[in-house]
Amino acid sequence: MKEAIRGYAPINGIKMYYEIHGVGSPLVLIHGGGSTIQTSFGKILPLFAQHYKVVAVELQAHGHTSDRDAPESFEQDADDVAALLKHLSINNANILGFSNGGNTAMRIAMRHPQLVNKLVLVSCFYKREGMIPGFFDGMKYTTLENMPELLKTYYLQINNNKQSLLTMFTKDRDRMLHFEDWSDDELGSIKAPAFLICADRDVVTSEHTVKMSQLIPDAWLTILHGTHGSFIGEVCSAEEGSKMPDLTVGIIQEFLDK
């Protein structure tokens, strides 16, 4: 397999980190909140790289990527990813987003539709009611101490700066606290073929994911057994020896190659 490329690009005032693995048609991977390429996609990236040119990114204030003097937003993240693809001379790609990365992926499809070939949306939401009961109430009281230890550990291995970790956590939390519902029409405006996936014990309800699949024209839908991220092998929920990441990659590949 071709050796991975790792680099930084000057994007909208930040130094944005990316990795490129494999060859073939481009598949962009967008991680979840508080996460890195490795914590969200360490299990499935090598599997995808056997078939595609995988472009994995780290968003504002996450992992290797620098911060800017502005709050995080899904719109800004979408524009950053779009600018990175232009920087890499990628005019069209399949885009997979997990958790908050799925929200960013949807915004890319809305704001930069010409960039998106197919869209894979994993465990994401478009209205506050889509999260499990109590999620947003609990978010009001969450602190850095509540952040999963593995996410903190992986971040500090990349950027050993506890103040930067706190900044990322605070911006992630505040974005969720201030999230305003998107309209059904916005979901319906997505023209790219889409595949929505969640788990039956996810933080996003299955009912919400079903509704999203009905609003996005001709979308595919799968609900798998597991918890948030377990079926892609996300570091905090991965189950040792599980074949679910292999299964998930297989069904996504069928969608992308159809």
**Count of helices and strands (H, E) across the chain:** 10, 8
Domain range for 25: 5-257
Query: What mean pLDDT do residues 48-75 have?
Result: 98
CA angle centred on 12, ends 9 and 15, rounded to 5°: 35
d(CA 165, CA 61) in angstroms, rounded, equals: 8
pLDDT reported for residue 7:
98
Task: Give pTM, 2 decimals.
Answer: 0.98
Phi, psi of 232, rounded to the nearest 5 degrees:
-105, 0
11-44 pLDDT tens trace:
999 999 999 999 999 999 999 999 999 999 999 9
Query: What mean pLDDT do residues 58-69 have?
Result: 98
Query: What mean pLDDT do residues 97-102 have?
Result: 98
Query: What mean pLDDT do residues 197-217 have?
Result: 98
Split into its structural domains, the chain has a count of 1
224-244 pLDDT tens trace:
999 999 999 999 999 999 999
6: number of Cβ within 10 Å: 13
CATH number, domain with residue 178: 3.40.50.1820
d(CA 228, CA 118) in angstroms, rounded, equals: 22
CB burial of 81-93 (b: ≥16 within 10 Å; e: otherwise) equals bbbbbeebebeeb
pLDDT reported for residue 1:
65
Instruction: Please answer whether residues 104 and 97 qualify as being in contact, where contact means their C-beta atoms are separated by less than 8 angstroms.
Output: yes
